[in-house]
Amino acid sequence: MTTETVKKSVLVAVGVVENPRGELFICRRGASQHQAYKWEFPGGKVEAGETVPQALARELAEEIGIEVLACQPFMRIEHDYGDKLVILDIRKVTAFNGTPHGLEGQPSRWVPLAELHDYEFPAANGPIVNKLRADAES
């Protein structure tokens, strides 16, 4: 007899939103969410029939109230949390309308790149922060 475990895998559209001062917009996850209380870049699950840019535009409108006008691929990360396998498709938001703010009651703020390490992100996010730093130095 063989036993097979198929782990739940989710594709997530994640947005790196930067302001002209080079600060990044981050939000804190809620108590009832996976990776509770960790800080994150806003975003959420890609629903059936959606492209990643469509999901990103929907999630950023719902979560932080901005209209994404343009985005570009930044990086893709697969991370196994044990209970959940996530595929983060991270896009840099290069143009948007509106002022980002936490629309779902979540704490949120603009943070300078150099201060990102003061915030606890989910384990999957390490490479994002590293690449943002590397890009800023080049």
Ligand X SMILES: Nc1nc2c([nH]c(=O)n2[C@H]2C[C@H](O)[C@@H](COP(=O)(O)OP(=O)(O)OP(=O)(O)O)O2)c(=O)[nH]1
List residues binding ligand X (CB under 6 A). 12, 14, 33-35, 40-45, 59, 84, 86, 88, 122, 124-125
- The residues pairing with 70 across neighbouring beta strands, listed in sequence order, are 95
Residue linked to tokens 């130095």: 137
Residue nearest to Mg ion (CB): 44
Nearer to Mg ion, 29 or 133 (CB): 29
Q: How many residues form the binding site for Mg ion (CB under 5 A)? A: 1
44 belongs to the binding site for Mg ion (CB under 5 A): yes
15 belongs to the binding site for Mg ion (CB under 5 A): no
Residues that bind Mg ion (CB under 5 A): 44
